[in-house]
A and B are shown apart, each in its own frame.
Chain A
Amino acid sequence: MNCAECKEILVAYLEGLLAEPQKHAVTDHLKDCHSCQAEVKQLTNLRERLVSNGRAAAQSDLENEVLNRIVREQNVRLKAANKAGAALKLRRIIMKSSITRIAVAAAVLVVAALGVHYMMGPSVTFADVVKPILNARTLILDMIVGDEETGTVIHDIIVDQRIRRVISTQQHLVNIIDTENAKMCSLHTEGKIAVYSDIQGSLQEGTRDLVAFLREIITDVQDNPGFKAKELGEKEIDGQKVVGFSANGFTIWADAETALPVRIEVQSPLSAVFKNFQFNVPVEELESLVSMDVPDGYTEQKKVFDMTTSTEQDLVECLRIWAELLLDGNFPEAIGMTKIMSQLPQIEAKLAESVVSAEEGTQKGMTLGKGMLFVMGLKDHHYAGSGVKVGEADKAIFWYRPEDSENWRVIYGDLSVKDVTPENLPK
C-alpha cells in the first residue's frame, strides 16, 4: 500500500469501517510511514475536537423553550385567525342565544376552545387541577367575556345539571337553566315575572355546564396516555402562589398547594377569563337558587317561548323594534349581536318606558334576539339600513340569499320583503 492509497481510506480506518485485510494493510503501512502517521495524528486531533464540541453542544436543552414558544406562537396565531375566520363560528355561537340569554354562549365558547392537547406538569399535575372540578357537585364562578376590566361578567352558580346565571349588564334578570330538560326560567326580579323558554337542540348543548365540560377534558387526557406535561411555572395571583398549565388556546392556573383552579383563561374562539371559583359549597345551600319553580310573589308568564327557531319575520320585527323603539324611526347604523349586547341597558330602559305589559316587553326582547339569531344563521347577507328611516319603501335595508335559492330576499325601509333576482340586487 502506498501513501495515496492509505490516505484514501484513512477516515474509514479511523471510523472502524474497514474489513480485516484492508485494516491490516493500513496498520502495516502506518508502522513505517511517518508522513501517514502524522496525518493520522492530525486527523485524530481534529476528530477529537469535533467530538468534544459535539458533546458540548449536546449539553443544552432547547426542548421546553421551543415547545413553549410554539404554544405561545400558536395562541397568537389562533387569536389572529379567530378575528377573521372564526368570526362566523363566534357569530353562530353567540346567536344561538337570545337577547335575554346571551350567557348561554359561555359554555359553547369554552368547549370550542378545547380539544387540542392538555398537558400535565410534574409537581401539581393537570389531573390534580381538574379533579376538584371533576368531583365537584357545585361550582360557583365568574366568567368574563372580552377585556377583563371592561368585559361582560357572567356569574354562574352550578348545581349538578342546573345553572343559575346572572349577567353584569342585566343584574335584575336571573336565568335558571335546566340543561337536562332543555328548559330555561328567566326571573325578572323587578317586575316579579317568571318566563319559561324551551332551549332544545344546539342551545341546550351549548349550555352544558362547566362541570360536564371539564369532565370532557379529563376523558381527553385519559385517552391520551402518552401525553406529556407542559407546565408554565409558578407565579402569584393576588398573593396566591399558582402553577400554570397550558394547551393551545387554553390555560389553567391552580393553587400551587391545594391544586384548586384559581383562574382559567381561554384565548379562542373568544377571549375569556374564569375566576373567583368556589368548589363544593354544600348542595343544600344552593339548591333553592336553581329551582325551576315560580318563586313566591312572581307571576308566571303563560306563554312558553320557543327559542329554538327564528324566521325572516323575526328579523323584520327586530328591525322595526330597533328603529322605532330605540332610534326614533331610524334604522341602526349597523346590526349584530355585539351591538345589541353593548346596548342592553338602554334597550331595557326603552322597553320599560314604552310597553304596556310585561308580556309585551318580553316578547319584544325575545324578538330582538331572535331576529339577530336569524341573521347569524344566514350565509350571504348584507345590511344597508344606515341613514334610512322606517317607511322609505324605495330603499333596501337588508338582503340575504336563502339556502338553496337563486334569488335573494330583500327587506325595504317600509319593512316589506320581496324576492329579487341576483342581477336586480341593490348595489
Chain B
Amino acid sequence: MSETDKYYIERCLDGHPDDFRHIVRRYQAVLLAHLAGKLGSRDKAEEAAQESLVRAYFNMNKLNRPGSFFSWLLGIADRVAKENQRKEMLHRQREAIRSFSQEAASPELSQDYGLEAAIAELPESYRRVVLLRYYGGRSCSEVAEQLDMPLGTVTKTLSRAYATLRKSLQQPSETESYEVQK
C-alpha cells in the first residue's frame, strides 16, 4: 500500500489493471469528499467518484507526469461534477417546464456536506492539502512529500485554508444570502 502513485500507474499501464485497486483505495475518500462538496449528496458523490476513477483509468496513458496523478484526478472529478450539475440543471429545467412552474427549485445542499462544499470552494492549492490531510489520511509530512513542498508551506497552507473555511462556514450559503437580499 505504500508504493507511490507512479508505481501503480506504471503497473496498470504495464498490463496489470488489477493494481488500479490500490489507487482506488488511496483516493476514494478524497474524491467522495470533494464531490460531495460539489454535488451535495452522498449518492451523487459516489456515482461521480466511480465515474472519475473509471475515466482516470482509461486515460492514464495521457498522464504525462504520473507523480501529479492526484491533481489530475481532481481535475477529472471537477469535470465529472460539472457535467452532472449541467445534466441536473437541464433536468430541472425540463421538470419546471413540464409543471408550468416559474420557479425552478435550486438544488438543496444537504447540511451534512456544508464542510465539503466549503472545501470545494477553496483555491486549488489549499484544497489539495486539506483533502489529502483529512480525507486521504495523510500526515503533514506525507502531504509535503506528495505535493513536493516544504513542511512549513503545508502548515501555512492549512492555516490559511482553515481561516477561509471558517469564514465561509460562518456565512450563510450563497443562495440563501441572495434570497435575503431580495
Partner-B contacts on A (CB < 8 A): 7-12, 15, 17, 42-43, 46-47, 49-51, 53-54, 57-58, 60-63, 65-67, 69-70, 73-74, 77, 116-117, 119, 227-228, 230, 248
User: Number of contacts between A and B (CB, 8 Å)?
Assistant: 103
> How far in angstroms is the closest Cβ of chain B from A393?
53
Which chain B residue lies CB-closest to A69? Answer: B54
- How far apart sit A57 and B32, CA to CA, in the bound complex (Å)? 6
Interface flag for B57 (CB, 8 Å): yes
Which chain B residue lies CB-closest to A9? Answer: B155
**Ordered nearest first, which 6 A-B pairs have the shortest CB separation?**
A54-B134, A57-B29, A50-B134, A58-B29, A12-B155, A11-B159
Q: Give 9 pairs: A residue, B residue, CB < 8 Å, sorted on A.
A: A8-B159, A10-B159, A11-B155, A15-B155, A51-B134, A60-B28, A63-B28, A116-B17, A119-B18
Q: Indicate the size class of the contact surface on chain B.
A: 35 or more
Cβ-defined contact, B155 with A70, below 8 A = no
Residues of B within 8 Å of A47, CB to CB, are 162
Cβ-defined contact, A67 with B24, below 8 A = yes
Residues of A within 8 Å of B24, CB to CB, are 62-63, 66-67
- How far apart sit A144 and B128, CA to CA, in the bound complex (Å)? 52
Cβ-defined contact, A65 with B21, below 8 A = no
Picked from A11, A53, A63, A69, the residue with its CB within 8 Å of the CB of B21 is A63
Cβ-defined contact, A57 with B54, below 8 A = no
- How far apart sit A67 and B25, CA to CA, in the bound complex (Å)? 11
> How far in angstroms is the closest Cβ of chain B from A96?
27
Cβ-defined contact, A53 with B17, below 8 A = no
Cβ-defined contact, A46 with B21, below 8 A = no
Interface majority SS on B: helix, strand, loop or mixed? helix
Cβ-defined contact, A228 with B21, below 8 A = yes
Cβ-defined contact, B18 with A228, below 8 A = yes
With contacts A11-B162, A57-B36 taken as known, whether A66 is within 8 angstroms of B53 at the C-beta atoms is yes
- How far apart sit A17 and B140, CA to CA, in the bound complex (Å)? 9
> How far in angstroms is the closest Cβ of chain A from B22?
9
Cβ-defined contact, B162 with A46, below 8 A = yes
- How far apart sit A230 and B18, CA to CA, in the bound complex (Å)? 9
With contacts A73-B54, A73-B58 taken as known, whether A62 is within 8 angstroms of B46 at the C-beta atoms is yes
Interface flag for B115 (CB, 8 Å): yes
Cβ-defined contact, B21 with A67, below 8 A = yes
Cβ-defined contact, A67 with B20, below 8 A = yes
Interface flag for B80 (CB, 8 Å): no
Cβ-defined contact, A15 with B140, below 8 A = yes
Tell me the B28-81 residues at the A interface (CB within 8 Å): 28-30, 32-33, 36, 46, 49-50, 53-54, 57-58
Residues of A within 8 Å of B28, CB to CB, are 57-58, 60-63, 66
> How far in angstroms is the closest Cβ of chain A from B5?
16
With contacts A50-B115, A227-B18 taken as known, whether A60 is within 8 angstroms of B32 at the C-beta atoms is yes
Picked from B15, B33, B140, B159, the residue with its CB within 8 Å of the CB of A57 is B33
Interface flag for B91 (CB, 8 Å): no
Residues of B within 8 Å of A57, CB to CB, are 28-30, 32-33, 36, 135
